[in-house]
Structures are given as structure tokens and as C-alpha cells.
Amino acid sequence: MQADSQNIKNKSKLDKYEYILSNMIHFFSNKDTYIASLANFTALLKDIFDSFSWVGFYLVEGNLLTLGPFQGKVACTEIAIGRGVCGKAAESKETIIVQNVHLFQDHIACDSGSNSEIVVPILHNGDLICVLDIDSYIYSNFDEIDKTYLEKITIKLVELIDNENGK
Ligand code: SME
């Protein structure tokens, strides 16, 4: 894995996502373990986007989401499906954007500095396997560009790291 992100850090959000999307094949492969790939994915996003305060995965374990690879401050380790932004995105299998987390009923605050959030559900063969959660200290940091690209990028990630073990 090689990611020289220095040149891309000053580009627009769109350029950053295009760079990640077009280089996914160089960053990820099914030779790496699932956890190693998710870990590097969080590092890649956190490195390129200074506005992301926390980037991580919650993995599906029965009716729970359990903390997976992440970059950022210590976070809660278990979220029931249906609870918080993560649990609601997992339940609906739809991306949720929260412009102001303080106005989102049932938001779970792991870092009191966080002000906005996006959660993208990730499916494998139609089954939910994890969610990608990204927080920002900036209000309204996430929009349709983030949703569109994070969905595309995570679909690509699953394709690239998919192997005979299923995930
Ligand atoms: N805010 C999330 C909890 C996870 S942390 O943001 C890392 C939620 O409401 O589900």
C-alpha cells in the first residue's frame, strides 16, 4: 500500500474523492485481511480529510455493532442496531447525514467536540456487514458529495477485499 496524500490534501473535496476512487485498486486487495484493509481505509480517509475528526467502522455482531478499526479518539465499543446514528443507518441500510448532531435525537456522543456526522452502511451480498462512521468538529461538514462518493468507495472496497471467506 502506498498513499502519497501530501499533494492531494489541498485539493477540493471532489478531487480528493476522485483520487481515492481511482486509486482504490492500488491501496486494497484481497491479499490483506479484512481487518487490515478496514484499518488502512480509516487511515487513508483521516489522513486526506483534515475536517474528519473520527473515521471508523462498527462491525455487525448479531444485534450489535461493535467497534472495529478506527482513527480518532477512544469511542464507545457497542451500539445496538436501531440506536444512535450508526444503529439507525444499520437498521435502514441507508446512509444518514447529520448536519448538527446535537439536534439528532438519540445521537450517541463519543466525543463532545463532534458536531456533524455521516454513517454509510456497507453490504456484502445484500447482507449488512458493517457501517462506516465519520465525525467532524465542523457543523454541516457532510453533503451529497460525501454520500455519493463514500457509497461508491465502500462498494469498491468490499469488491477489492472480498475473498472466499466472505468478508
Ligand atoms: N455518534 C455515533 C456513535 C459513534 S461515535 O460517533 C464514534 C452514533 O450516534 O451512533
For residue 104, the one-letter residue type is: F
**CA 110 to ligand 1 centroid distance, Å:** 6
How many angstroms separate the first and last alpha carbons of the chain? 20
Contacts of 82 (CB under 8 A, 6+ apart): 88, 90, 91
Of 42, 76, 104, 105, best ligand 1 pocket probe by most atoms within 8 Å of the beta carbon: 76
Q: State pTM to two decimals.
A: 0.94
Residue 163's pLDDT is what? Answer: 61
Of 86, 107, 136, best ligand 1 pocket probe by most atoms within 8 Å of the beta carbon: 86
Does residue 165 have a pLDDT over 50? no
Average pLDDT over the chain reads 94
Residue 7's pLDDT is what? Answer: 84
Residue 66 to residues 114, 121, 146, 153, 161: CA-CA distances in angstroms? 20, 14, 24, 22, 20
Q: Report the distance separating Cα 136 and Cα 72, nearest Å.
A: 11
Q: Report the distance separating Cα 63 and Cα 150, nearest Å.
A: 24
Does residue 110 have a pLDDT over 70? yes
pLDDT tens for each residue of 31-60: 999 999 999 999 999 999 999 999 999 999
**Angle (deg, nearest 10), helices 13-27 and 34-48:** 150
Q: Which residue did the predictor score with more confidence, 155 or 5?
A: 155
What percent of the chain is predicted at pLDDT more than 70? 93
Q: Report the distance separating Cα 20 and Cα 3, nearest Å.
A: 9
The alpha carbon dihedral of 132, 133, 138, 140 has a sign of positive
What percent of the chain is predicted at pLDDT more than 90? 88
